[in-house]
Amino acid sequence: MMNRPGALLAAALCAAVPLVGGLAATDAAAQAKTSVVIGMTLEPPHLDPTAGAAAAIDEVVYANLFEGLTRIDESGAVRPALAESWEISEDGTTYRFTLREGVTFHDGASFEAEDVVFSLERIRAEGTENAQKDLYAAIESVEAEDARTVVVELSQPQGDLLWRLGWGDAVIVDPASAETNKTDPVGTGPFAFDGRVQGDLIRLTRFEDYWGEPAALERATFRFIPDAAAQVAALLAGDIDAFPNIGAPETVARFEADPRFEVAVGTTEGETILSMNHRRAPWNDVRVRRAIQHAIDRRALIDLAMIGFGTPIGSHFAPHHPAYIDLTDTAPYDPEKARELLAAAGVETPIKAVIKLPPPTYARRGGEVLAAQLKAVGIELELVPVEWGQWLAEVFRDPWDFDFTIVSHTEPLDIGIYARADYYFGYDDPDFQAHIAELEVEAEPERRQELLVEAQEMIADSQVNGFLFQLAKVGVQAAGLEGLWRNAPIQANDLTAVRWE
Amino acid sequence: MRPLLRPPTRARLARGRRHPSFAIGGALTILMLGAAALAAVWTPHPIDGVDPLARLAAPSLAHPLGADHFGRDVLSLILAGAQTSVTVGLIAVGLGLGVGAPLGLAAAMRRGRPLDAAIGRTTDLIFAFPAVLTAVLIAAVYGPGAINAIVAIGIFNIAVFARVARGAAIGVAARPFVAAAAAIGRTRAQIAVIHVAPNIAGVLIVQATIQFAVAILAEAGLSYLGLGVQPPQPSWGKMLADAQTYMFSHPLQAVFPGLAIMLAVLGLNLFGDGLRDALDPRLKTLRLG
């Protein structure tokens, strides 16, 4: 540890004379660290959060590079961002946003109401690349009343519009730079893009003209290390300051015992599920799906694949959400029951099936454990490891070539995916679709709560997929690094409050 | 007529048995083959079950080598892993021997002709890429799996055996008895099969033991990278990969699969050495000299 008066003196010098900050930084002994290296397992394919579903994009740019009208904070609450305040009409269909003043983009362009109109119109435009365009389908028109006021009209009331506008998919971009954001992102956030080495890292530097509280860090680097063992080595070597989501949960004990590191275990929005292809028999038979759920010992799965990190779920809903109900007893572990149900459904065992496993630990290891558990009831899985690109092309999109897959759905409050008949697992239930449509327009909190509870029960009763566990966020960071999120209410590595003690 | 390598007479094999590396290598190889054969019919514990209670258990009477991170018996996995290694190794080497040796023989009989050049340049091309790189390429195109691993290792072996067979056959073809056979009107094909092939068999057998070891190492390497046999089929390389993140907390996890690979490869190399010495005393003298 450095001596405190020295650090304070150095900090005072830097604050007083920003220009010599760079020189002082070379005097490491007297200088508090102002940069951080964050490790991530997956590399983002590009850096435009409005044009891709990859969580890794938001994990680099959310709140750091790009901002929306609102933002979601560590607790999951909605806070004002580029909109200073807003008024909502009585009927819930008109939102009047007052925009913040003195905001500039990283390239010097000023932020105006027209940028908001452009960004929101772009989500809804024909041929949009936006991965979450359904979230904003209720928006009917966006108009700039004056340079600081934007009016959004909805076709129907939407209880959680402000929360939806806080997603990375709805960040505000400048028309002049919108097309090049994939490679050269320009936003309004406290950090500006400072270069990328493909396959290795992305650099950010503090944006000095930021409208709000400036970031404590001068520089931030995101490094991408897919291999779990290499992640551990990089942390131990000090090459990485923090790994907010470590790939190998079994190494956590080692870091907990080491005073140089801190371990932070929190929650994510990731419902980890055994997705079943409803377009293929016999998985479209509810008895077969229920049999599979009965064959799964969730506790053993979590203990073996995730070293105990994770919470069993019985439906597609996060346990920390206020509307959550525990449905894990809908089809508890009971191999005998599973065999009976399979026989009742006329399935001849042993039956073979293909499970495609994307790279994360929960899928690859989870797949091995599930293969053992399902084999015990006569379902023999062929484990096929796939890369994410392959997974997206073969499983997530047409031709939906899979029987099973394991994936963690990390978007928050995403039970609505079960109302999309064209979604990859192909669950097509008009009753559930009507239910979600009702939820969409419901603004009254208590009724919304009821509808959410019923939605959980409906998909648990139909046993749409195998519901496994809520993914935990297991992070390891160097001691003294403060301000990283413990929980992940949205896909993000928000660095705005990160500093070294 | 004196063959390049003499057929293994009883006396020569007896000399080989006294050779320490032959004895040790032979014992290790028999152990490996025995383990593979045993695993085909029986393992102490099932290898496709998981047991949370036995997770990372230390060696005990129930689990002589402990249990892995899924609570599976390590001894059973090692035995079944031997089966995987031996199967992949035998098929890959068989492929190499079956395809490569005739090609090499043909090239030698057509020495200096376009066929020889074509085979020679093709093997050069295969050797230009390390075996693992070829395997990664095949896995990238056709997906990871046991069959692709065998094909990848097999292709490399074809090139090896083609070269070895060609070199040895050229040596044999220059001998007077081959000229005599030609003089009495034997066709080139007859000469190759009747006179040359038996005389290069010893060299090929020795080479096969070495390639067998290489194949086991390659299979372990591919499975370590996740490109070889897929779970739940056990593999020593996959076991090693799984053990990697447990190195600090449970080092034994890596020790047993590591030892298995080492002993198998060591055994085959020693056995090959001993076999060569037994089959070719001339070479031994040369080496000692």
Q: Are B226 and A385 within 8 A, CB to CB?
A: yes
Classify residue B204: in a domain, yes or no.
yes
Nearest to A372 among B49, B230, B247 (CB): B49
Classify residue B249: in a domain, yes or no.
yes
Burial of A104 (0-12, 13-18, 19+ CB in 10 A): middle
Classify residue B28: in a domain, yes or no.
yes
Q: Pick the more confident residue, A71 or B16.
A: A71
pLDDT, position A414: 92
Nearest to B69 among A250, A367, A371 (CB): A250
The alpha-carbon gap from B55 to the nearest alpha carbon of chain A, in Å, equals 7
pLDDT, position B49: 82
Q: Are A229 and B245 within 8 A, CB to CB?
A: yes
Domain containing B87 — which CATH number?
A: 1.10.3720.10
pLDDT, position B90: 94
Burial of B128 (0-12, 13-18, 19+ CB in 10 A): exposed
Q: Which residues of A399-410 are buried (b: 16+ CB within 10 A; e: fewer)?
A: ebebbbbbbbbb
Classify residue B248: in a domain, yes or no.
yes
How large a percentage of chain B has pLDDT more than 90? 55
Helices (H), A134-216: 161-165
Burial of A30 (0-12, 13-18, 19+ CB in 10 A): middle
- Considering A408-412, B30-34, B126-130, B151-155, the range whose residues carry the highest mean pLDDT is B30-34
Q: What amino acid occupies position B193?
A: V
CB-based contact (8 Å) between A234 and chain B?
Answer: no
The number of helix segments (H) and strand segments (E) in chain A equals 14, 19
Question: Please, are residues A489 and A75 in contact by the beta-carbon 8 Å criterion?
Answer: yes
pLDDT, position B74: 95
Q: Are A303 and B226 within 8 A, CB to CB?
A: no
Q: Are A251 and B248 within 8 A, CB to CB?
A: yes
Sites in chain A below the pLDDT cut of 50: 1-30
Spatial separation of the C-alpha atoms in residues B215 and B149, rounded to whole Å: 10
Question: Please, are residues A287 and A302 in contact by the beta-carbon 8 Å criterion?
Answer: no
For residue B126, what are the CA distances in angstroms to A309, B111, B155, B160?
47, 20, 8, 9
For residue A95, how many C-alpha atoms fall within 13 Å in the half-sphere facing its CB? 24
Classify residue B5: in a domain, yes or no.
no
Two tokens, residue A193: 């893009």
Q: Residue B110: phi, psi to the nearest 5? A: -110, 35
What was the ipTM of the complex prediction?
0.80
Q: Are A384 and B52 within 8 A, CB to CB?
A: no
Two tokens, residue A383: 């484990």
Would residue A174 be called left, alpha or beta, if left means φ above 0 and alpha means ψ between -120 and 50 degrees? beta
**Window 274-303 of A, Cβ < 8 Å to B:** 299-300, 303
pLDDT, position B282: 56
Spatial separation of the C-alpha atoms in residues A235 and A248, rounded to whole Å: 12
Model confidence over A401-430: pLDDT tens digits?
999 999 999 888 999 999 999 999 999 999
**Residue B88's domain spans which residues?**
15-45+62-288
The alpha-carbon gap from A234 to the nearest alpha carbon of chain B, in Å, equals 13
Q: Are B55 and A371 within 8 A, CB to CB?
A: no
pLDDT, position A32: 73
Q: Are B231 and A299 within 8 A, CB to CB?
A: no
Classify residue B10: in a domain, yes or no.
no
Question: Please, are residues B71 and B130 in contact by the beta-carbon 8 Å criterion?
Answer: no
CB-based contact (8 Å) between B15 and chain A?
Answer: no
Provide the 10 A C-beta neighbour count for residue B110. 17
Burial of A286 (0-12, 13-18, 19+ CB in 10 A): middle
Question: Please, are residues A319 and A469 in contact by the beta-carbon 8 Å criterion?
Answer: no
Reduce the DSSP state of residue A439 to 3 states and report it: helix
pLDDT, position B228: 87
- Residue B48: closest CA among chain A residues belongs to which residue? A372
pLDDT, position A36: 96
Q: Are B70 and A253 within 8 A, CB to CB?
A: no
Cβ-Cβ contacts under 8 Å, B243 against chain A: none
Q: Are A371 and B143 within 8 A, CB to CB?
A: no
The alpha-carbon gap from B269 to the nearest alpha carbon of chain A, in Å, equals 31
Look at the pTM and tell me if it is higher than 0.90: no
Q: Are A254 and B249 within 8 A, CB to CB?
A: yes
How large a percentage of chain A has pLDDT more than 90? 80
Widest CA span of chain B, in angstroms? 76
Q: Both ends of chain B: CA-CA distance in Å? A: 26
- Per-residue pLDDT for B287 more than 50? no
Q: Are B230 and A248 within 8 A, CB to CB?
A: no
pLDDT, position B13: 60
Spatial separation of the C-alpha atoms in residues B74 and B253, rounded to whole Å: 8
pLDDT, position A33: 87
Cβ-Cβ contacts under 8 Å, A261 against chain B: none
Mutate one of B72, B242, B245, B249 to test the A interface: name it (highest A CB count within 10 A): B245
Nearest to B248 among A254, A376, A385 (CB): A254
CB-based contact (8 Å) between B232 and chain A?
Answer: yes
Mutate one of A303, A391, A395, A474 to test the B interface: name it (highest B CB count within 10 A): A303
Cβ-Cβ contacts under 8 Å, B50 against chain A: 300, 304, 368-369, 372-373
Question: Please, are residues B146 and B88 in contact by the beta-carbon 8 Å criterion?
Answer: yes
Question: Please, are residues A367 and B230 in contact by the beta-carbon 8 Å criterion?
Answer: no
Q: Are B230 and A250 within 8 A, CB to CB?
A: no
- Pairing mode, if any, of strands A191-197 and A83-88? unpaired
Of A290-294, B13-17, B132-136, B233-237, the poorest mean pLDDT is in: B13-17
Spatial separation of the C-alpha atoms in residues A332 and A336, rounded to whole Å: 11
- Residue B225: closest CA among chain A residues belongs to which residue? A227
Q: Both ends of chain A: CA-CA distance in Å? A: 10
Quote helix, strand, coil % in chain A, to nearest 5. 35, 25, 45
Q: Residue A80: phi, psi to the nearest 5? A: -65, 145
Of A26-35, A286-295, B156-165, B175-184, the poorest mean pLDDT is in: A26-35
CB-based contact (8 Å) between B50 and chain A?
Answer: yes
Q: Residue A219: phi, psi to the nearest 5? A: -135, 150
DSSP, residue by residue, chain B: ---SS----HHHHHHHHHSHHHHHHHHHHHHHHHHHHHHHH--SS-SS---GGGTTPPS-SSSTT-B-TTS-BHHHHHHHHHHHHHHHHHHHHHHIIIIIHHHHHHHHHTTTSHHHHHHHHHHHHHHHS-HHHHHHHHHHHH-SSHHHHHHHHHHHHHHHHHHHHHHHHHHHHTSHHHHHHHHTT--HHHIIIIIIHHHHHHHHHHHHHHHHHHHHHHHHHHHHTT-SSPTTS--HHHHHHHHGGGTTT-THHHHHHHHHHHHHHHHHHHHHHHHHHHH-HHHHHHHH-
Q: Are A373 and B50 within 8 A, CB to CB?
A: yes
- Per-residue pLDDT for B50 more than 80? yes
Classify residue B194: in a domain, yes or no.
yes
Model confidence over B79-101: pLDDT tens digits?
999 999 999 999 999 999 999 99
Q: Are A304 and B48 within 8 A, CB to CB?
A: no
CB-based contact (8 Å) between A335 and chain B?
Answer: no
Provide the domain count of chain B: 1
Q: Are A385 and B244 within 8 A, CB to CB?
A: no
- Per-residue pLDDT for B31 more than 50? yes
Spatial separation of the C-alpha atoms in residues A9 and A50, rounded to whole Å: 43
Q: Are B48 and A375 within 8 A, CB to CB?
A: yes
Model confidence over B108-124: pLDDT tens digits?
998 889 999 999 999 99
Classify residue B29: in a domain, yes or no.
yes
Provide the 10 A C-beta neighbour count for residue B44. 15
Model confidence over B207-229: pLDDT tens digits?
999 999 999 999 999 999 888 88
pLDDT, position A370: 96
What's the mean pLDDT when you consider all of chain B? 87
pLDDT, position A2: 41
pLDDT, position A52: 86
Of A247-251, A298-302, B1-5, B44-48, the poorest mean pLDDT is in: B1-5
User: ∠ CA(B77), CA(B83), CA(B88), 5° rounding?
Assistant: 125
